[in-house]
A = this chain, B = another copy of it.
Amino acid sequence: MGRILALVLLLGLAAPAWAEDGHEAWLRYHPLPAAQIARFAPHTATLVTGKMSPTLDATVKELRSGIAGLLKRAPGGASAVTADGAVVIGTPSSSPVIAGLRLNLSAAGKEGFVLRSLGVNGHKATIIAANSDIGVLYGAFALLRRMQTEQAIDNLDITDAPRLMVRVLNHWDNLDGSIERGYAGASLWRWQTLPAYRDPRYREYARLNASLGINGAVLNNVNTSVNSLSTGYIEKTAALAEEFRPYGVKVWMAPRFSAPQEIGGLKTSDPLDPQVRAWWQTKVDEIYHAIPDFGGFLVKANSEGQPGPQEYGRSHSDAANMFADLLAPHGGIVMYRAFVYDDPGKDWHLDRVAEAYRIIKPFDGQFRDNVLVQEKEGPLDFQPREPFAPLFGAMPKSNMAVEFPVTKEYTGQGVDLTYTGFLYEQIYKSDTYAHGPGSTVAKIVMNQKLTGTAGVANIGNDRNWTGSIFNQANWYAYGRFAWNPESSARAVGEEWTRMTFGNDPKIVSSAVAMLMGSWPAMMDYQSPIGLTFQELDSANTHYGPWPWLDSPRRSDWADIYFNRADAVGLGVDRSHTGYNTAAQYNSPLKEQFDDIRTTPEDFLLWFHHVPWDFRMKSGRTMWEELQFQYSRGITGVEAMQKAWDGLKGKTDDERYMAVKQYLVMHHRDAVWFRDASLAYFQTFAKRPFTNGYKPKYDLDYYKKLPPNTAPPD
């Protein structure tokens, strides 16, 4: 304790201003105001436990540190309820007290929990009960979250359970420590020193995931190295699994499809070849021998240069089912990506956004029961604004899962403040009309035999995990929407804000307004009126704007392919007079999207080639509206800057300054996007700039700017 007091002195003196480095993230157990302590302390005096396990040890540790931090007094421990204020934790099999209560835990399912305020032995008690140890841990995090966000805990009657079974983060981490589309330092996985060295961050990472209910981590990039499957790496992976296990986080792997040839010494990787299947059988058995609770494989095949079944004249279902059959006896699952598109070279006549539906839909009903068909949330590629992917309304006989961006590849490169919770809500509540009105994407993916979701992680070895503090909100939101796809982005954002910055009303209102305004602002300055994919640049940073970019190799990797700017207008004709991609949606959407008059203006340039003088609902012409929306995006960023400036002194200096400095970059990016885009499009529109929207420089200036500095693949 002497050491700790010294540390206090040191902290107090070396940093006269209050500074936090963000490492705690949302599990920030700082003392609540006295009134809240008085409210919660009487209910959290003692932890009553039964038979322990690693997961229950973690539960007790969490409750002890959380209560001690929030309420400034650590709870005692007991094995029975002998006074008011007991928190009883356990399952009917681990805790005699819980067993004696004969609670109905059926609605909690395998991973859910029950929080109840009950009298036990004549004393007031709070029950955290579940059918599994991990359910108990999830319940403990829920109780702590209620205190952190200043919600009552004195009259609890809550049953909560995840609506999806598989809730994984997919790390696009390469074995050399780099991360594709990672903006938060190097990979957390220190492959060189595994399995011997157990970095304490492995457990810290698992703990943060468990606090959200995330139950799996795909450790490696879908653009994968075959080495992940080597015996040495399986040993390393097993060590990570061991560190994650108490927190209920399973490890998964993205396997390289051509491994039988590359390291197996076979002449083929044909998924129907008996030797190939035997090789994979041996490999799968080796993995499960080392990692009995291994989650399964997440497969990218025949997409963007990855090997796949088509090399052997086999189908995507052949590939998925081969893995599925081998994994099934172990309880393993295949997540098979529908993010596939052909590579016919430069002269392509197809619609890039129609590809997943065109290629994957024919296999509906042909995938095994332990296959999740994993489709990105939109039909293109993690854009700021896309309609939901039509495949979700077109695969009634398959288990579908949404793949969401958590990292901000096209949406600000980890720098710009853009809250993906907004996107998750928009997509999940989109109505596919697959079984009539109300067939939202959420309902579709929740009502299957096997359910799940994958999020492309934004996590690295930066001290604050995600590069910027607000990026933590996206990890948080991904986990909360994975738990319940029908969550509210605003409610989740408020929860995150209270946990991360405290409950001061001004912080809460300002930060939530920033979160909720961020995605609309970005849609305005990157994707006005539904224009999209203008972030492609020659350096492959995906950090635009480069609207003039053509691609020497293939037309669909060019911005001009996606804007089609010409003397007539702007946007891609996906109606029956063009690609006819609107027809991939169910009625009444297909008719609505097919007609320029009924298409929602948010997607007008997505579905139609719109004349510059087309009259918008605002009364402005399309050219005027384009300028207006670009500029509204900048106004939105400025509103965030103003809101944040108003919080000076309300939060610690270190996080305050970091967010402020990041918003400077954000504003620069937004202005650049508007000005470069308008300078280019005006060369086609040939109409005057309105309302002071004239770009500061001429087009040539923007064309000569180098690509933004960003980490490469």
Contact = CB atoms under 8 A, between A and B. Distances in A.
A99 interface: no
Contacts of A1: 12
A11 B69 CA distance: 9
Contacts of A198: 657, 661
Interface in A1-59: 1-14, 18-19, 21, 29-31
B13 A64 contact: yes
Nearest to A61: B14
A237 to B, nearest CB: 12
Interface stretch (A154-162, A163-171, A188-196, A670-678): A188-196
Interface in A436-495: 460-463, 467
Name which of A72, A175, A196, A460 has the most chain B CB atoms within 10 A of its CB: A196
A80 B697 CA distance: 58
Contact of A197 (B61, B230, B661): B661
A176 interface: yes
Nearest to A19: B200
A115 B3 CA distance: 29
B709 A191 contact: yes
Nearest to A663: B196
Contacts of A461: 185-186, 461-462
Contacts of A11: 4, 7
Interface string A694-713: 00000000000010111110
A105 interface: no
Contact of A6 (B21, B64, B72): B72
Contacts of A186: 177, 185-186, 460-461
Given A69-B9, A186-B177, A3 B29 contact: no
A521 B200 CA distance: 29
B177 A709 contact: no
A711 B460 CA distance: 16
Contacts of A281: none
Interface in A538-568: none
Contacts of A661: 193, 196-198
Contact of A712 (B61, B74, B176): B176
Name which of A3, A7, A236, A665 has the most chain B CB atoms within 10 A of its CB: A7
A9 B68 contact: yes
A439 to B, nearest CB: 41
A359 B568 CA distance: 66
Given A192-B183, A661-B198, A30 B14 contact: no
A178 interface: yes
A590 to B, nearest CB: 42
Nearest to A176: B712
A344 B594 CA distance: 67
A176 B711 contact: yes
A10 B654 CA distance: 20
A415 interface: yes
Contacts of A460: 186
Interface in A381-435: 413-415
Interface string A652-685: 0010011001101100100000000000000000
A397 to B, nearest CB: 43
A149 interface: no
Interface in A624-651: none
Contact of A706 (B183, B232, B414): B232
A94 interface: no
Contacts of A21: 200
Contact of A13 (B2, B31, B65, B711): B65
A413 B30 CA distance: 40
Nearest to A29: B10
Contact of A12 (B4, B18, B662): B4
A230 B706 contact: yes
A311 to B, nearest CB: 26
A385 B140 CA distance: 56
Contacts of A19: 200
B4 A8 contact: yes
Contacts of A65: 10, 13-14
A393 to B, nearest CB: 38
Interface in A49-88: 61, 64-65, 68-69, 72, 74
A463 B464 CA distance: 11
Interface of A: 1-14, 18-19, 21, 29-31, 61, 64-65, 68-69, 72, 74, 175-178, 183, 185-186, 191-194, 196-198, 200, 230, 232, 236, 413-415, 460-463, 467, 654, 657-658, 661-662, 664-665, 668, 706, 708-712
28 contacts: A3-B18, A3-B31, A4-B11, A5-B8, A5-B72, A6-B29, A6-B30, A6-B69, A8-B8, A9-B68, A9-B72, A10-B30, A12-B68, A13-B64, A21-B200, A177-B178, A183-B192, A186-B460, A192-B413, A192-B708, A192-B709, A192-B711, A193-B661, A196-B665, A197-B661, A197-B665, A232-B709, A461-B462
Given A5-B31, A10-B29, 8 more contacts: A5-B8, A5-B72, A13-B74, A14-B61, A177-B186, A186-B460, A197-B665, A236-B709
